Structure 1
Amino acid sequence: MRDPKKQKASIELRKLWGDMEDAMALPPGQPRSLTCDAVETRIKELTPLAGATHWATVPIRLLELGVYQRIHAELGVAAHIDMDTMLACRSIFRGPGGRL
């Protein structure tokens, strides 16, 4: 049976990656960097407990900007991304040359 604390941490991490995308999209004048810092701190607290969140459940923008990769590298946690699949997903969501 899976450790309940690890399972709860995994669920929370998936939510936090979405929160990070939302924080990065805050309009000027909003506390963007403070919010991002707070979410990043929480991600860094939970990742050692739960392990890396699978890249396919993370908002694609955070993969493109390297946020996901940077946070895991800073923690020393392996977080492999299948770039071919990620690029294929991006083209599906955006269409040829399109934007999200």
Structure 2
Amino acid sequence: MAFWLLKKEYNTVYLYFQLRSPAKKDFPALFDITAAGHLLANELPSDGMREVEEELGLSIPFEDLTFAGVMQDEIHIPSFIDREFCHVYLYEIKGSL
């Protein structure tokens, strides 16, 4: 599940990114999607909301998200190959966090 947090101000849309820890094994100290997590075979995209709460401390009802589609993603680097189907959801912040 991939979760993008966005905010609209006047005629500009802002996307929130997460800065990965420099201690991370994969892609350290790089910007990443707002929040994301891998689902187990028996889980639904709504189960991925635990990642949003763990990573951002936000409890957002799944029904308040906007489904943006499923994106196929594939990364090839020397240490591994990663193939995913990402269920992408958006959430627009109204007011302040």
TM-score by structure 1 length? 0.25
Greater helix share, 1 or 2? Answer: 1
Greater strand share, 1 or 2? Answer: 2
Which structure would you say has the larger RCO, counting Cα contacts within 8 Å and 6 or more residues apart? 2
